[in-house]
Amino acid sequence: MVSSPPSGGRGRRRPLTRGNAIVLIGLMGTGKTTVGRIISQQIGALHLDTDGEIERREQKTVAEIFSEKGEPYFRDAETETLRRIRRRPPNRRLVLSTGGGLPLREENAKMLRQLGTVVWLRADPETLVKRVERKLAMRPLLAVDELPLHERMAKLCAERNDSYEKLADLIFDTHLDVHASVIAASILDQCY
């Protein structure tokens, strides 16, 4: 596992008034929710997961929202969720795990940057396929496509990795067989 600031330097993108949240971004299967939960337990922070917040408000799973209301509705719900999170009283440190597609909308990326340090959990398509293949029904973007799973994942990596990299302050490779608690500890080392 390596951690590094992405090329281009961090200072250039860091706004003057930036929050102290730890924001986890990356594709499905990178461990954002698990790592976020561990970090928040260790520092006594509030842990929010954007998919979880949307499911709670809608009283439906992400898969149900996609099939009943469509992806554009879900994407708008992601933006609305982020706006709400930004408005919360800043009385407790926040660890935020985000849905894989959320950072791709520019408005969302801007809000994530303002919330705090953005950490990209990076992994290669092979690792991601291994991690998600048993739970495909929960992931509508992977379930509906006609391409084989590995090709679909490779395509998503190719489409999204540049955006994740541009947004990230820190990058952690999670494709090695490293336990989520080790990744969480490394992130905390860098963020404190």
Structure tokens, 155: 């395509």
Nearer to ligand S3P, 100 or 125 (CB): 100
CB of 169 to ligand S3P, least distance (A): 19
Which one of 43, 46, 141, 157 is in contact with ligand S3P (CB under 6 A)? 141
Separation between Cα atoms, residue 145 and residue 87, nearest integer Å: 36
Nearest partner of 155 among 181, 168, 146, judged by Cα? 146
Q: Which of residues 44-73 bind ligand S3P (CB under 6 A)?
A: 51, 62
First to last CA, the chain: 19
Helix, strand, or coil (residue 123): coil
Separation between Cα atoms, residue 133 and residue 21, nearest integer Å: 31
To 10 degrees, what angle do helices 149-167 and 106-115 make? 60
CB of 9 to ligand S3P, least distance (A): 27
- Contact pattern from residue 5 through residue 34 relative to ligand S3P, giving x for each residue in contact according to CB under 6 A and a dash for the rest: -----------------------x---x--
Question: Could you say whether residue 100 binds ligand S3P (CB under 6 A)?
Answer: yes
Q: Which of residues 145-184 bind ligand S3P (CB under 6 A)?
A: none
Binding site for ligand S3P (CB under 6 A): 28, 32, 51, 62, 99-101, 139-141
